[in-house]
Amino acid sequence: MSAARRLGIFGGAFDPPHHAHVALARAAIEQLQLDELRILPTGLAWHKVQPLSDAAHRLAMTRLAFADLPQVVIDERELCREGPTYTVDTLRELHREHPQDTLVLVIGADQADTFDQWRESDEITRLAIISIADRPRAQAPAGAVDAAHVPGGQWVPIALAPLAVSATDIRERRAAGLGIDHLVPAPVARYIDLHHLYLPA
């Protein structure tokens, strides 16, 4: 039987992956002493309203973005799932596959704000430790992670210097003909250019 490990789980649309995603992954690995961090590009995320770019593009960019982090494993399971994807299903599967491991779910503060609307959020908190990184956002001051929406109120902070970058902003900048090279890892910028992503239709 294999020894218990600390297995991090970090999901996102990654449309595209950007500097804050990589900084958050790095901080999570170090601060939470993760043996492995599973990065899961989402399939049809139930809470995202805008249509996502092709799964193949998001997967390729995710691989490029996190290539320098040896603890990262890109996990494609949510992309392969039919219909909407739910974190609780992924955690149940990972718990079945790695019953010895401690699961640690990594999210940004904007996700923590609506965590109690996630499917079976109380079950999620039974399956995994919830770890939250602050994220600058319009409706909340920096330094204000509001964990009132985490059932049981148990969570672990991840210290992350505030990075006001979002994938939405990157897509909008690109559509407006503005540069994005300072917001994404260089290989991701090259990929976006090569495949003419996020340009006006």
Residues in contact with ligand ATP by the rule CB under 6 A: 12-15, 20-21, 24, 107-108, 110-111, 133, 135, 160, 163, 165-168
Alpha carbon distance 112, 180 (integer Å):
27
Least CB distance to ligand ATP at residue 132 (A): 9
Alpha carbon distance 201, 189 (integer Å):
19
Cβ proximity to ligand ATP, 100 vs 168, nearer residue:
168
Least CB distance to ligand ATP at residue 120 (A): 18
Cβ proximity to ligand ATP, 21 vs 174, nearer residue:
21
- Residues 180-187: contacts with CB under 8 Å, at least 24 apart: 183/18, 183/19, 184/16, 184/17, 184/18, 184/19, 184/65, 185/17, 185/19, 185/22, 185/64, 185/65, 187/64, 187/65, 187/67
> Which residue number has the CB closest to ligand ATP?
108
CA distances from 87 to 16, 73, 82, 124, 138 (A): 20, 17, 14, 8, 26
Cβ proximity to ligand ATP, 90 vs 111, nearer residue:
111
Alpha carbon distance 90, 75 (integer Å):
10
Alpha carbon distance 144, 98 (integer Å):
33
Least CB distance to ligand ATP at residue 61 (A): 11
Cβ proximity to ligand ATP, 4 vs 142, nearer residue:
142
Q: How far is CA 54 from the centre of its chain?
A: 17
Cβ proximity to ligand ATP, 167 vs 189, nearer residue:
167
Least CB distance to ligand ATP at residue 52 (A): 9
Cβ proximity to ligand ATP, 51 vs 200, nearer residue:
51
Least CB distance to ligand ATP at residue 152 (A): 19
